[in-house]
Chains A and B, each alone.
Chain A
Amino acid sequence: MLTTISLHNLLPKVFVGSRASEAPSDIWHREVVLQQGESVLIEAESGRGKTSLCSFISGLRSDYEGQILYTQSDGSALAVEQSDLLRQHIGILFQEHRLFGELSAVENVMLKSQLTCYATVEEVRRQLERLGLAECMDRPCRTLSLGQQQRVAFVRALCQPCSFLLLDEPISHLDADNADIMSQMVAERQRADSIGLIVTSVGHRFPYQYTRIFKL
């Protein structure tokens, strides 16, 4: 169980020496500690590195300066190179979804869920039905709309035990009703497991009660 994620003087390498590095930011070149249980919103214009930050935190990319430290509940540190382990603690909804087009919605979610045996097929179906995907959950994802794919990717992000949940622009293709349902599902999960929530937004905010808001 991860209890904190500490960002020390973080800056994407592509920003080094550029004007972007000089712009004021609550994250870049700062000391930031993200706690399990808190809800954080990171807002920024396009191109300020929101998706990069999510990739850095989840261990998918390492092209940055500075340091990211992960502290476990027993006080020990988890190295960022242990990316396999990191992804067991951090659920992530990618901006580009990263679904497999030839698999159905249910299969896409089960592909993730079976790694940790988190949810049964019936539980996954219930989650998808809640988000209005009852009629299309058995179709290949390539036949779904972007909004439907986003909802599938959201359910998939939830289908693992995690300490932190990263949602990278989670409602960019969704209407307000679906955004509210997703918000409820996140709140239920946070109440149940005290997960830390990190949401990025380019302007269309994910509706939630945030403990902190950062400008990137």
Chain B
Amino acid sequence: MKLLVVLLRRHVSLWQLVCFALGGLLGAVILLLSLQSFRDVNRAFTTEDAIFSENYVVISKPVSLLTTVQSLIGGKSPSFEEREIQELEALPDVSCVAPFRSAHFTVEAIVRSGKRSLRTEMFLESVPDDFVDLADVNIEWKADLNDRFVPVLVPRNYLDLYNFGYASTRGLPQLSEGAVSQFSFQLFIGGSFYHARIVGFSTRLNTILVPDAFLAEANRIYGNHEKEEPSRLVIRTKGDAAGNALLQHIAHHQYIVADGGDAMVRMQSMVYGVVWAVAAVGLLVVLLAFFLLVVSMLLLVEKNRDIFRNLASMGYTLRQMSAPYRLLVLGVDVTVWLLAAIVSVFVYPLVGDLILMAAPSLEPTGALPLFLIATLCCFVFVAIHFFVIGRAIKKVYKEERR
């Protein structure tokens, strides 16, 4: 082997190899860091306490002059058909879709103060209980027609509108959430009075919510019994999805997204996009560096054609003749990926800490995944290089035996 190495090291340029190795190292570090980032981004988006673990998007159909006229002449308001709901549920980044249930009967809210009372018509809606943000609600979210007490959730921005848009300009006192929760009022539904109280404020759903079971039963008894398709849907997205499918679907069908609820989805999509773009750049640099190494090896084989011819005539096998060059590329590949893994382990915490801020309960990823990915990549590149070198020498070997 030593004599073979002496023979075949002709035309091998050490500086060229170093340059290839440095290029490969740079690309490998970028690739490893981006793959590890993707892994942590995914964990951050899916772990339970993560900011972005699940998102809720409320969509409706656009209301135009045409739809308004249609409604006036007795047509349907824009609503979602069963087929459209199924299409949404089939999207890869959608976890669940729930329709808003509306009250199909007249509802009046009554506030009494002594002998005086204020009445107003109002609307009620509901969604399945697991879609309601009940984290700050201290009372059980449950009611039926026998209870005579109905908990109500209102949007947080209603309180903000009152406090900052009305009370402050009228010299009225601003109210805290606690203060509002103390007010009780009555709901007049189907000839019966129900006590009600605002038990919480929702940041997720911009509507006046009551428990779904209560509204379903009330519709059954007091409603007009017409099957109506929902005009709004609430969609729970999967935390680990890029969100592209849902966003594209919404854009394609021109659905309206309430309150920029898709912002989080878009942000997730953008984060995944950036990570994959960086990974693609890293992969490109790695492929380029290792491609140039392959080309260099092929040129070496070509330049040493006479040597291989003579070695073959002496009885050297393909494997024996390939061994020195294969050892050379093995050394380059292993060195590059090992160094890349080590560098990535030291550099990654700078990036990883930022990602993990989104999910404080997550533990930082250890070094093992980086080394595993680097090992796998090393195996792949070594296999490719071995194959290419063997094939090049075999071609010379076969041409010798014409």
What distance in Å separates the Cβ of B350 from its nearest Cβ neighbour in chain A?
Answer: 50
Give the complex CA separation of A111 and B307 in angstroms.
12
Find A94's partner among B10, B313, B402 (CB 8 Å cutoff): B313
Closest to B320 in A: A115
Closest to B309 in A: A98
Find A114's partner among B3, B10, B309, B313 (CB 8 Å cutoff): B3
Give the complex CA separation of A182 and B320 in angstroms.
31
Contacts of B203 in A (CB 8 A): none
Find B400's partner among A60, A63, A156 (CB 8 Å cutoff): A60
A100 CB–B CB distance under 8 Å? yes
B116 CB–A CB distance under 8 Å? no
Find B315's partner among A61, A87, A94, A107 (CB 8 Å cutoff): A87
What distance in Å separates the Cβ of A112 from its nearest Cβ neighbour in chain B?
Answer: 5
- Tell me the chain A residues, 98-116 only, with Cβ under 8 Å from chain B: 98-100, 102-103, 107, 110-112, 114-115
A183 CB–B CB distance under 8 Å? no
* Chain B contact residues, majority secondary structure: helix
* Contact assessment for B310 and A115 in the assembled complex, using a CB-CB cutoff below 8 Å: no
B314 CB–A CB distance under 8 Å? yes
* Contact assessment for A103 and B401 in the assembled complex, using a CB-CB cutoff below 8 Å: no
Contacts of B307 in A (CB 8 A): 100
Contacts of B313 in A (CB 8 A): 58, 60, 87, 92, 94, 98
Find A111's partner among B10, B309, B314, B401 (CB 8 Å cutoff): B314
A87 and B314 in contact, given A100-B307, A102-B6, A107-B3 (Cβ under 8 angstroms): yes
Interface string of A40-65 (1 = CB under 8 A from B): 00000000000000000011111100
B384 CB–A CB distance under 8 Å? no
Contacts of A92 in B (CB 8 A): 313
Closest to A116 in B: B315
What distance in Å separates the Cβ of A7 from its nearest Cβ neighbour in chain B?
Answer: 18
A35 CB–B CB distance under 8 Å? no
B: interface residue count bin:
10 to 19
* Contact assessment for B402 and A62 in the assembled complex, using a CB-CB cutoff below 8 Å: yes
Give the complex CA separation of A114 and B4 in angstroms.
11
Number of interface residues of A (CB under 8 A): 25
Give the complex CA separation of A84 and B314 in angstroms.
9
What distance in Å separates the Cβ of A126 from its nearest Cβ neighbour in chain B?
Answer: 20
Find A63's partner among B309, B317, B402 (CB 8 Å cutoff): B402
Give the complex CA separation of A146 and B400 in angstroms.
24
Interface string of B191-222 (1 = CB under 8 A from A): 00000000000000000000000000000000
Give the complex CA separation of A201 and B248 in angstroms.
83
A4 CB–B CB distance under 8 Å? no
A160 CB–B CB distance under 8 Å? yes
* Contact assessment for A84 and B317 in the assembled complex, using a CB-CB cutoff below 8 Å: yes
Contacts of B7 in A (CB 8 A): 100, 102-103, 111
* Contact assessment for A88 and B315 in the assembled complex, using a CB-CB cutoff below 8 Å: yes
- Tell me the chain A residues, 155-175 only, with Cβ under 8 Å from chain B: 156, 160
Give the complex CA separation of A111 and B7 in angstroms.
10
30 contacts between A and B (CB under 8 A): A58-B313, A60-B313, A60-B400, A61-B401, A61-B402, A62-B402, A83-B401, A84-B315, A84-B317, A88-B315, A92-B313, A94-B313, A98-B310, A100-B307, A102-B7, A102-B10, A103-B6, A103-B7, A107-B3, A107-B6, A110-B3, A111-B7, A111-B314, A112-B314, A114-B3, A115-B315, A115-B316, A115-B320, A156-B314, A160-B315
Question: Which residues from chain A sit less than 8 Å from chain B, CB to CB?
Answer: 58-63, 83-84, 87-88, 92, 94, 98-100, 102-103, 107, 110-112, 114-115, 156, 160
